[in-house]
A and B are shown apart, each in its own frame.
Chain A
Amino acid sequence: MPPRSIGEEFTKGLWHENPIFRQLLGMCPTLAVTNAVINGIAMGLATTFVLIFSSIVVSSIKKLIPNQVRIASYIVVIATFVTMADRFLAAFFPLISKDLGPYVPLIVVNCIILGRQEAFSSKNSVGRSFIDALGMSAGFILALLILSSIREILGAGTFLGHQVLGSWFEPWVIMILPPGAFITLGILIALTFVIEHKIKQRR
């Protein structure tokens, strides 16, 4: 396979290797926090921070780490950034921190992050790892945004807390409950596969 250009390194995270819709990684936070758009954005940004810094650190120390202890080292690096993000949110955005609850500490076990370190940062240069992390984060945020918008609009009739559907609309409570998350995600994943299939057929 020829090496990817920098642009492709970024855009692969948005579509072809989208962490949520194509790789099906990080399902737990995706399903749990997307009941409101603001939670989706906050979770996306917190994960972005952790992913970018972990990728930079891991790719810059990759040669020092013996193969046998690499996973343990990655986890320590990731956990450090997660705890920093968690404290930062609690200190400066207490309301969001309260809404996200235990899901910020759980970024540690978000497979997108460990997955990118293992599959990419540990084999590529700092610059490429940074671009890769940026693309994956953008793909993650995009997916959370789509999912949380659908769920908030149908489940509460609001978008970012503002009423968008009139009073005639009876909110579908199921959309903000866990089943709504599974149903929406299932339909979205099916859709991406259909689109991908169509694209391939055209070629």
Chain B
Amino acid sequence: MSLSSRMVIVLTSVGLISGALLSTVGILTKERIALNKQLEIENAIITVVQGTHTSEKLYEEKDLVVYGSKDENNQLIGFAVYASGTGFQDKIILMYGTNPSFTKIYRLTILEQKETPGLGAKITDKDAFLQFWENKDSSKPLTLRKPAARSPEELSPFEVNTITGATISSESVLNTVRLSLEKLMSLKKEGKLGNEE
């Protein structure tokens, strides 16, 4: 056998075998990976809209998904909003819960981020950042408190806190929430978020 045909045969068979192996692994793990993603979203919905019994996807577009949360009596208690925006390093994907009229933000959680460890990455930390997002009044635009407040009580209901040394990350979380809220208002006017009653 000539050298070149040997080279072709070896490379082709190595490629074929690894391709077959990988598609098997892909099929075996696909369901589980999808399930993990779904579980993560479901957990996040329960975190941001406490008391959620069932939730359904009401609206979906790039960078924005809206879930309606209902309690045991099938009453709409709020929306869980999945939104993403540009952070300091990369996309920040977050979820927050609002009441049905969008005038209150219950809670915020961060689903994905690649901010600077030790600084911007603190946006995932409850004590450093997330607790300052609990029960905010969004009937008028939220603003950023800078320099940072030490405890949630120091903030007005319209203010959220900055992380010292990570203003850009804190700002981008706020902007993502603000932009998606505006979008939600217009979606609601268009009647795309379903019937409240």
Measured between beta carbons, the chain B residues less than 8 angstroms from A94 are 33, 36, 40
Q: How far is the CB of A32 from chain B (nearest CB, A)?
A: 10
Determine which of A72, A84, A177 lies in contact with B11 in the assembled complex, contact meaning CB atoms within 8 Å: A72
Q: Is the CB of A64 within 8 A of B10?
A: yes
- Given A79-B18, A101-B114: A68 and B3 interface contact (C-beta under 8 Å): yes
Measured between beta carbons, the chain A residues less than 8 angstroms from B22 are 80, 83-84
**CB-nearest residue of chain A relative to B21?**
A80
- Given A76-B18, A80-B18, A87-B26: A171 and B10 interface contact (C-beta under 8 Å): no
- Given A66-B10, A83-B22, A101-B114: A88 and B29 interface contact (C-beta under 8 Å): yes
* In the assembled complex, A56 has its CB within 8 A of some CB on chain B: no
Q: How far is the CB of B90 from chain A (nearest CB, A)?
A: 9
* In the assembled complex, B15 has its CB within 8 A of some CB on chain A: yes
Most-contacted residue by chain A among B3, B33, B114 (CB, 10 A) = B33
Q: Within the assembled complex, what's the spacing in Å between the Cα atoms of A13 and B21? A: 30
Count how many chain A residues have C-beta atoms less than 8 Å from C-beta atoms of the other chain.
Answer: 28
Q: Is the CB of B116 within 8 A of A87?
A: no
Measured between beta carbons, the chain B residues less than 8 angstroms from A64 are 10
Interface residues on B, range: 20 to 34
* Residues 135-184 of B contacting A (Cβ, < 8 Å): 165
**CB-nearest residue of chain A relative to B24?**
A84
Measured between beta carbons, the chain B residues less than 8 angstroms from A90 are 29, 33, 36
Determine which of A68, A87, A176 lies in contact with B29 in the assembled complex, contact meaning CB atoms within 8 Å: A87
* Residues 63-101 of A contacting B (Cβ, < 8 Å): 64-66, 68-69, 72-73, 76-77, 79-80, 83-84, 87-88, 90-92, 94, 98, 101
Q: Within the assembled complex, what's the spacing in Å between the Cα atoms of A72 and B33? A: 30
Q: Within the assembled complex, what's the spacing in Å between the Cα atoms of A68 and B114? A: 41
Q: Is the CB of A91 within 8 A of B29?
A: yes
Measured between beta carbons, the chain A residues less than 8 angstroms from B118 are 35, 155-156, 171, 173, 176-177
Q: Within the assembled complex, what's the spacing in Å between the Cα atoms of A167 and B123? A: 21
- Contact code string A168-184 (vs B, CB < 8 Å = 1, else 0): 00010100110000000
Q: How far is the CB of A83 from chain B (nearest CB, A)?
A: 6
Q: Is the CB of A69 within 8 A of B7?
A: yes
* Residues 26-63 of B contacting A (Cβ, < 8 Å): 26, 29, 32-33, 36, 40
Measured between beta carbons, the chain B residues less than 8 angstroms from A92 are 32
Q: How far is the CB of A98 from chain B (nearest CB, A)?
A: 7
Residue pairs across A and B with Cβ atoms less than 8 A apart, 16 shown, are A35-B118, A66-B3, A66-B7, A76-B11, A76-B15, A77-B18, A79-B18, A83-B25, A91-B36, A98-B112, A155-B118, A156-B118, A176-B118, A177-B117, A177-B118, A177-B119
Query: Which residues of A are at the interface with B, using a C-beta cutoff of 8 A?
Result: 35, 64-66, 68-69, 72-73, 76-77, 79-80, 83-84, 87-88, 90-92, 94, 98, 101, 155-156, 171, 173, 176-177
Query: Which residues of B are at the interface with A, using a C-beta cutoff of 8 A?
Result: 3, 6-7, 10-11, 14-15, 18, 21-22, 25-26, 29, 32-33, 36, 40, 112, 114, 116-119, 165
